[in-house]
Each structure stands twice: as structure tokens, then as C-alpha cells.
Amino acid sequence: MDQVATLIHDGKIEEAEQRLQQTRETGASDARWHYLYGRLLEAKGLVEDALDVYRAALEIDGDHVEAGFRLAFCLDLRGQDDQAIRIYQALARRTPAHVNALLNLAVLCEDRGDYRGAINCVRRVLMSYPNHLRARLFLRDIESSMNMHYNEDQERSRIKQDAVLETSVNDFELSVRSRNCLRKMNIFTLGYLLRITEAELLNYKNFGETSLCEIKAMLSQKGLHLGQLREEQDVALAEAVAPSDGAGRFPSLAGTPDVLSRPLSEIEFSSRARKCLQRLDLNTIGDLITKTEAELLAAKNFGQTSLNEVKQKLGEFGLELRKVT
């Protein structure tokens, strides 16, 4: 089993799957087998299926810490915060407490404005690991967040926009076929839908013109259209990565499209930084470099620690945030 975990970690998904399949019969009642199968499904992008497998692992062994944490983590990323919090809290009550569960719980507490709860979680980590760098920086950021003052009009506007983008596609009257296709494509909110193009939808298996017309009509009623967010961010991206040389010409971006289109979900950000980027609806490296340091720091709960992390990750690709000219 340890070998399977190593294969998954190294990205050798097919080999890991073969080894798991060889032990499927004996693993049916093994919580660790289900846990590893869940990790495999996650690596394949099948998060919904992974959730069911992690739940199966916990039915076999309710104290399986790894399965519990991955279940909470996946629920957290899917925006199912209430369920994630309950599991994180259960893990946090263990002795010794689960460090990553405490830190992720702190992120969720801070998101909800429960700064005291967030600080208590981080301090519990520091009681056991006084030199835990991430926890120390996180504590400083949370304390700074408590003293931040927001422009009320900007905050109301942000909340309104976020509410629209976070609206579930299940809230609209779509056919079963369209719903199933969107679910299989991991498109759960309007924000995700506004980032995809007609061509990309039609390229998906079993997604036809009827479903496309249905979705376009639904968006049109709200004054929206497919690919809208991508179009808006493409304009910002062009301005950010191709500044004028003074003669109306722009430097070549040859060789960078693959990097710019790389999903941020593939980059190992901390849970806090990841949630901040998700809140800003930044999904690719190209989206991220359209932002300035000031714009990121102005976002709720985005502190200097997260900014340093983002700059470091971009630096690994030879990129940086947009400069103010």
C-alpha cells in the first residue's frame, strides 16, 4: 500500500491504479485501500467520486485520520464549508491535533469573520510546534486582518459580484442531460460557466447543440454569455504581459501560452492562498499575472504571507505580478 501512495505522489497514476485493482477484492473491507483509491480518483480529477470513496473508508474505520482529512479538504475546495468544518473540528479534537486540519479550519474561520476562532486554531499549532513558520506568519496575517477597514461600497459591490459568480447552476431550470454534462465537467457555478467557450462545451462527450442553446438562453436572461470572464481577463492579460514599447508595438509572448494557461489548481499553494485566489476568480497563471500586488492585498484576508507565496510561485516560472506604471 505504501508503494501505491508513492506512485500516486510521483504522478504514476496508471501504475498505481493497476496495483490497486490487483488488490480490489481484499481491499473491499480495508479503510486504507479506500483512502488510496480516493487519492487516485483525486489525481484523475474525479473529486466527486473521491468524496464517496473517502466516506466509504470512514464507514469502515471512523478513526481513519487521512481519509477524514482528505474528505474535509475536498469538501472545503468545493465550497461545502459547513461539512468541512465539522470534520476539521473532529480532527482538531484529536491528541495530538491534526496540524493541517487546524490550519485549514483557521482559514475557514477567518473567511467567516471569526478571527478569534482562527487565532485559537493557529495558537494550538504553535503550542505543539512553536517554530512552525507557516503558523507564525498566518497568525500575524489574521491579527492584521482584524484591524483592516474596508470601503463599504467596494465591499458591497464585491459581495454582490461574488454572489452572482457563486450561484449554483443547479438553481436554474436545465435539462437532466445538461446538468449531468456540466457536473461531469466539474462546472458547478456561474463563475465556472462564464469561463468556458461554446467550442469547449461542444467538444465534450454527449454535449450537443440542444444543451448549448439551453445554456446560452439561460445566461442571456441574466445579460451574460459563455466565455465572458475569459474575454475580460484576456484584455487585462494583454495589458499586463505585453506593455507597449512606446511605438505601439508589443513584445512577443512566444513560448508562454502553455504556462499562462496552466491552472492554479496544479500549483501547490497553501490552503489560505488558494482560497483567496478562488475568491478573486483567478484560475490560471495568466489570470494571476493580470493583478498587481496592491490589488491582491486589497482582497479580503489576502495578507503579506500569501503575497510572498504567490510571488515565489510566479518566480519559478520567470513571471511576476503586473507592475503599476
In a domain, 63, yes or no: yes
In a domain, 321, yes or no: no
Which structural domain, as residue segments, surrounds residue 19? 2-146
206 with 161, same domain: the answer is yes
In a domain, 226, yes or no: no
Sort 216 into a burial class: Cβ within 10 Å, 0-12 / 13-18 / 19+: middle
Among 220, 245, 262, give the residue marking a domain's end. 220
- The enclosing domain of 99 has a CATH number of 1.25.40.10
- pLDDT tens string, the chain, 325 residues long: the values are 668 888 888 888 888 888 888 887 776 788 999 999 999 998 888 888 999 999 999 999 988 999 999 999 989 888 888 889 999 988 888 777 788 899 999 988 888 888 888 888 888 888 777 778 888 888 888 877 766 544 455 556 556 666 777 788 888 888 888 888 888 888 888 877 887 888 888 877 778 888 889 999 888 887 888 888 767 655 544 443 443 344 333 233 333 556 777 888 778 888 788 888 887 778 888 888 888 888 888 777 788 888 888 988 888 777 888 876 5
- In DSSP notation, 88-131 reads HHHHHTSSS--HHHHHHHHHHHHHTT-HHHHHHHHHHHHHH-TT
Give the dihedral of Cα atoms 176, 181, 187, 190; nearest 10 deg. -50
In a domain, 225, yes or no: no
104 with 138, same domain: the answer is yes
- The enclosing domain of 264 has a CATH number of 1.10.150.20
Closest CA to 193 of 210, 217, 209: 217
CA dist., res. 279 & res. 304, Å (int) = 17
CA dist., res. 27 & res. 37, Å (int) = 10
With the C-alpha atoms ordered 62, 67, 71, 77, is the resulting torsion angle positive or negative?
Answer: positive
Under a CB-based contact definition with an 8 Å cutoff, are residues 317 and 286 in contact?
Answer: no
123 with 36, same domain: the answer is yes
Among 127, 146, 165, give the residue marking a domain's end. 146
First to last CA, the chain: 54
In a domain, 33, yes or no: yes
CA dist., res. 209 & res. 192, Å (int) = 20
173 with 244, same domain: the answer is no
In a domain, 324, yes or no: no
CA dist., res. 87 & res. 75, Å (int) = 10
Among 116, 146, 176, give the residue marking a domain's end. 146
112 with 173, same domain: the answer is no
The domain tally of the chain equals 3
Under a CB-based contact definition with an 8 Å cutoff, are residues 290 and 321 in contact?
Answer: no
Q: pTM value?
A: 0.50
125 with 157, same domain: the answer is no
